[in-house]
């Protein structure tokens, strides 16, 4: 699998989003990671459908939405015309996982499940691993950019990669939180193929985002 980097818009310049998105358009094999927060599942609020409708008019990359919300079912309906490629919800927020996954599958090309750092991989039954397109392992407690990487996530990547091989599952393994050029190599070696990075990419002083993306790869 090739390595996809998904820059998290949360760390971009919100006063000049268009410039940042156009810089990312010059780089290949990216997704654009969009952190949707509701102020309930996590103690922060970000952006919603009106902002995304404008972003999609300038972004050439696939839109990768990470819903840190208590009611992903509601957001599934609300965002259905935004043109998202991937819809990831948090396992911890949902009671009826199968029902939600079936619904999302009928609406979005790719459906992901996210696990908080303290949620073990074993909560997801095998039959759902066979249905899902992406598993997002959080390597920080969600809610904010710029937090410190929790290295124990590497063991979860190894466990998930083993399950993927043993069962010939096709899901991507995405990791999100505190990713930089120091830890990306360990994650890729462990089996991750999709890395989200916010502050590491957007803090590049000359806005040379390609150099940061290449260092992650």
Distance, in Å, from the CA atom of 14 to the CA atom of 67, rounded to the nearest integer, reads: 19
What is d(CA 64, CA 59) in angstroms, rounded to the nearest whole number?
12
Q: How far is CA 17 from the centre of its chain?
A: 19
Residue 161 annotated to the active site: no
Strand partners, 89: 67, 113
Catalytic residue among 98, 155, 176, 181: 176
Closest CA to 34 of 104, 94, 97, 85: 85
The structure tokens listed for 142 are 């969600």
How many residues sit in the footprint of ligand DX5 (CB under 6 A)?
A: 22
35 is catalytic: yes
Token pair 């102020």 in the structure block, residue: 39
Smallest gap from Cβ 141 to ligand DX5, in A, equals 8
Shortest gap between Cβ of 30 and ligand DX5 (angstroms)? Answer: 14
Sites for ligand DX5 among residues 35-54 (CB under 6 A) = 35
Q: Which is nearer to Zn ion, 66 or 212 (CB)?
A: 66
Site map (CB under 5 A) of Zn ion, residues 57-76, x = contact: ---------x----------
- Interface residue with ligand DX5 among 21, 24, 32, 33 (CB under 6 A) is 33
Cβ closest to Zn ion, residue 6 vs residue 188 = 6
Q: Contacts with ligand DX5 in 120-179 (CB under 6 A)?
A: 140, 142-147, 176-179
* Coil, strand or helix at 33: strand
Contacts 24+ apart (CB under 8 A), 43-50: 43/143, 44/143, 44/144, 46/10, 48/78, 49/78, 49/79, 49/82
Q: Which does 143 bind (CB under 5 to 8 A by kind): ligand DX5, Zn ion, none?
A: ligand DX5
Among 5, 31, 35, 184, binds Zn ion (CB under 5 A): 35
Instruction: Give least dist CB 17 to Zn ion, A.
Output: 17
Q: Is 10 helix (H, G, I), strand (E, B) or coil?
A: helix
* Tokens 């009106």, residue located: 50
Which stretches of the chain bind Zn ion, using CB under 5 A?
A: 35, 66, 176
Among all residues, which ones are annotated catalytic?
Answer: 35, 176
Q: Which residues bind ligand DX5 (CB under 6 A)?
A: 8, 10-11, 33, 35, 66, 140, 142-147, 176-179, 196-200
């Amino acid at each position: 699998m090739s390595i996809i980097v998904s820059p998290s818009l949360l760390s971009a310049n919100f006063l000049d989003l268009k410039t940042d998105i156009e810089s990312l358009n010059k780089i290949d094999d990216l997704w654009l990671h969009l952190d949707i927060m509701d102020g309930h599942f996590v103690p922060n609020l970000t952006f919603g459908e009106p902002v995304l409708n404008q972003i999609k008019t300038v972004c050439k990359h696939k839109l990768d939405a990470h819903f840190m919300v208590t009611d992903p079912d509601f957001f599934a309906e609300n965002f259905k015309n935004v043109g998202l490629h991937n819809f990831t919800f948090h396992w911890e927020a949902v009671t009826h996982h199968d029902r939600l996954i079936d619904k999302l599958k009928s609406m979005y090309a790719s459906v992901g499940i996210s696990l908080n750092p303290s949620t073990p991989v074993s909560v997801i039954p095998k039959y759902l691993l066979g249905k899902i397109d992406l598993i997002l392992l959080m390597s920080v407690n969600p809610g904010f950019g710029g937090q410190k990487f929790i290295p124990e996530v590497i063991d979860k990547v190894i466990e998930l990669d083993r399950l993927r091989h043993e069962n010939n599952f096709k899901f991507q393994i995405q990791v999100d939180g505190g990713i930089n050029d120091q830890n990306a190599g360990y994650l890729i070696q462990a089996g991750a193929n999709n890395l989200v990075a916010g502050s590491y990419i957007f803090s590049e002083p000359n806005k040379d985002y390609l150099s940061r993306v290449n260092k992650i790869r």
